[in-house]
Amino acid sequence: MESNFIKTFIEEDLKNNKYKEIVTRFPPEPNGFLHIGHARAIITNFELAADFNGYTNLRYDDTNPSKEDLVYVEAIKNDIKWLGYEPKNVYFASDYFNEMYERAVLLIKKGKAYVDSQTAEEISASRGNLTTVGTNSIYRERSKEENLKLFEIMKNGLCDEKTYVLRAKIDMSSPNMNLRDPVIYRIVKESHHRTKDAWVIYPMYDFAHPIEDAIEGISHSLCSLEFEDHRPLYDWVIRECEMPNTPRQIEFGRLSIENTIMSKRYLRELVESKKVSGWDDPRMPTLSGLRRRGFTPTSIKNFILSVGLSKINSTMSLEMLESALREDLVLKTKRVMAVVNPLKVTITNYTKKTLEKYEVPYNADNLELGTKKISFGKELYIEKEDFSIIKTDNKFKRLYLGGEVRLLGIGYFIKCNEVVYNSENEIVELLCTYDKNTKSGSNFSQRKPNGTISYVCKSDSANASFYMYESLIDNDIQSDNILDKFNENSCVVKEGYVEKNVSKSKEEDKYQIIRNGYYVVDKNSTKDNLIFNKIVSLKSSYK
Ligand code: ATP
Ligand code: MG
């Protein structure tokens, strides 16, 4: 990783012998799939540790049983692996529940924690705000013995959910709201996806997280900026719980992408309301969505690394991510022809019984990808938009009635002589002739065609559906409810044809469809119909 402020901190800490080894962790809560924002946290943690010959743990922060699920545990593991990282250890915060409980008991014994009987509303009302100090709970001075007894009652599930909470006894007048006797344990009578019904009390994030880090010997606990104000509490917990290691929390800015909503709550709503097909819908900013959309781990990594790391939250354009992808794909993908909006072309002077073939490299800029044969025959398909009855202006470099274009690859010039209409007056077919002398390699130079277009030869093609995507959010819709802003046109499907050379493609195979864009084969493809997700167009649409 290039030099950044966290790297500088780590270098100083090593120089001052604060830590012997650099150990980081990525601590997702298994309550949803990872998104591109998480990629920044993953890449930062893994790359920084590796830069100092250290290592990184994956730790599931599974301290809230209500929203967590094993499905997410698996998905998170797969996504990290896909990005190309392997955690040294995979841990679960729930494995430390016992130790956390012991540390809470220690706090009570030290007079640093107490059981409060106030309701959540009372606690919140008595915390004060930025301009007024909080007021002490009338239960704040309970004896250690009483606190221990009540905490035991909480632990054994002998009272209802909201009867008691355990609070750290810090300072109700602290200018830092997080230090105003934060709740550190609450009762939740729900089954946990790993510990099942073993526990009915669960630690709060601010109490659990530092303990988890310290148990694992994490040296640098990197987190996003919103935890900056929590750092004094983090340090308090480490100190007062007498943890043997003292990790250092460092915050970095969150990453957002323009026009993209990444909060897990919103993404979950999209999934649950079935507006999208799942967490891996190709429109989703999740890593599994981006993967299905055709983004590569290299492009995501290069994007994150090129954006750099800063102390402030940053919003990047989608365009930056897309150009990292084009850069990665340009030499790696085979270039093929496809027709997304087919218009039938009949070559009236083609009399051979068989198809003509012509061999070309798959990617003229990377011959290692091999060669393929392009076919030409009596029936072809071209793009509807590559034909117009009249040549409207000199910029129109395509086929028109009476005009002549060159066909990509095979090289033949075809001339449109007649247009066939259906009863609705729509163009359904073009009758064309080809010039035998113009095949690629024949050095024909007597006339200049009106441009070069791509095509697919009907009897050497495969059926294909092309899924084109746009942003999930429609900013023209005014609403506070984010679901109302869902872009109903975010997925458009076109039925067309692709050259048969690609008919044996597998899920995640990526191609450059010439003159159109990069596409990836979707998992829902069948033997008879390939499904292509459009990853991105060939050129940036940003000017
Ligand atoms: P969200 O708010 O999107 O639901 P989260 O922060 O609740 O995400 P966690 O599972 O707690 O999700 O995140 C795991 C780690 O990833 C945390 O350390 C968090 O700081 C980091 N992270 C999450 N979103 C981003 C982001 N957009 N940019 C950078 N880091 C992020
Ligand atoms: Mg979180």
pLDDT in tens, 292-305: 999 999 999 999 99
Q: Do residue 81 and residue 172 come from a single domain?
A: yes
pLDDT tier for residue 542 given thresholds of 50, 70 and 90? low
Which amino acid would we find at residue 31? N
Domain count of the fold of the chain: 3
* Cα–Cα separations (whole angstroms), residue 472 to 73, 270, 272: 26, 10, 15
Q: Which residues, 6+ apart, have CB-to-CB distance to 111 below 8 Å? A: 144, 169
Q: Give dist(CA 490, CA 394) in Å, integer.
A: 34
pLDDT band, very low/low/confident/very high, at 539 (cuts 50, 70, 90):
confident
With bands split at pLDDT 50, 70 and 90, how would you rate the model's confidence at 174? Answer: very high
- The verdict on 126 and 88 lying in the same domain is yes
| CATH code of the domain in which 261 resides | 1.10.1160.10
Mean predicted confidence (pLDDT) in 73-85: 98
Nearest atom, ligand 1, residue 29 CA? 10
Looking at the structure, do residues 95 and 130 belong to the same domain, yes or no?
yes
Residues 205 and 64 in one domain: yes
Task: Kindly state whether residue 494 falls inside one of the protein's structural domains.
Answer: yes
pLDDT in tens, 19-54: 999 999 999 999 999 999 999 999 999 999 999 999
7 C-alpha to ligand 1 centroid (Å): 20
- Whether residue 1 is contained in a domain is answered as no
Distance CA 162, CA 63 (A): 17
Residue 164 within a domain:
yes
Query: Over the range 78-107, which residues count as b (16 or more CB within 10 Å of their CB) and which as e?
Result: ebbebbebebeeebbbbebbeebbebbbeb
| Domain co-membership, 349 together with 296 | no
Residues contacting 496, CB < 8 A, separation 6+: 338, 339, 340, 341, 342, 381, 464, 465, 466
- Check residues 128 and 392 and name the one with the higher pLDDT: 128
pLDDT at 200: 97
Same domain, 242 and 288: no
Which residue's C-alpha comes closest to atom 31 of ligand 1?
A: 38
**Alpha-carbon gap, residue 244 to 453, rounded angstroms:** 70
- H/E stretch holding 105 reads helix 97-109
Residue 511 has pLDDT above 50, yes or no: yes
Question: Catalytic pick from 40, 169, 264, 415?
Answer: 264
Q: Does 5 fall in a domain?
A: no
Query: Which atom of ligand 1 sits closest to the CA of residue 31?
Result: 10
Residue 170: pLDDT over 70: yes
Q: Which helix (H) or strand (E) holds 212?
A: helix 205-215
Residue 29 alpha carbon to ligand 2 centre in Å? 6
Among 274, 304, 329, which residue terminates a domain?
Answer: 329
Ligand 1 neighbours, Cβ below 6 Å, are 27-29, 37-38, 40-41, 223-224, 254-255, 262-264
Phi (first) and psi of residue 71, to 5 degrees: -55, -40
Q: What is the CATH number of the domain that holds 233?
A: 3.40.50.620
Q: Which ligand is nearest to the CA of 30?
A: 1
Q: What is the pLDDT of residue 327?
A: 97
pLDDT higher than 90, residue 187: yes
CATH assignment at residue 356: 2.40.240.10
pLDDT for the residue 540: 72
Of 4, 2, 66, 54, nearest to 29 by C-alpha is 66
Q: Report d(CA 25, CA 45) in Å as an integer.
A: 6
Q: Which amino acid is at 273?
A: S
Phi then psi for 99, rounded to 5 degrees?
-65, -40
Indicate whether 129 and 239 sit together in one domain.
yes
Same domain, 317 and 368: no
Any idea what DSSP says for residue 286? B
Asked if the structure places residue 484 within a domain, the reply is yes
Ligand 1: residue whose CA is nearest its atom 13: 28
| Structural domain boundaries enclosing 526 | 334-537
The token pair that represents 293 in the structure block: 């959309």
Short-list 174, 169, 201, CA closest to 185 = 201
- How far is Cα 494 from Cα 338, in angstroms, rounded to an integer? 12
- Among 274, 303, 329, where does a domain finish? 329
Q: Is the pLDDT of residue 543 over 50?
A: no
* Confidence category of residue 482, pLDDT binned at 50, 70, 90: confident
Residue 543 domain-assigned (yes or no): no
Burial of 335 (0-12, 13-18, 19+ CB in 10 A): buried
In this structure, is residue 3 part of a structural domain? no
Is 254 designated active site? yes
Residue 536 alpha carbon to ligand 1 centre in Å = 26
One domain for residues 437 and 517? yes
Local confidence band at 69 (pLDDT 50, 70, 90 cut-offs): confident
Q: Are residues 274 and 183 part of one domain?
A: no
Q: How far apart are CA 466 and CA 510, in angstroms?
A: 13
Using one digit for the tens of pLDDT, what is the confidence trace for 138-165? 999 999 999 999 999 999 999 999 999 9
Question: Mean pLDDT, to the nearest integer, of 378-400?
Answer: 96
Q: What is the mean pLDDT of the chain?
A: 96
542 occurs within a structural domain: no
Does residue 138 share a domain with residue 42? yes
pTM: 0.94
Query: What is the average pLDDT across 479-484?
Result: 86
Name the domain boundary from 216, 233, 255. 255
Q: Are residues 201 and 275 in the same domain?
A: no
pLDDT at 144: 98
| Banded pLDDT at 445 (limits 50, 70, 90) | confident
Percent of the chain whose pLDDT exceeds 90: 95
User: Which residue type is seen at 176?
Assistant: N
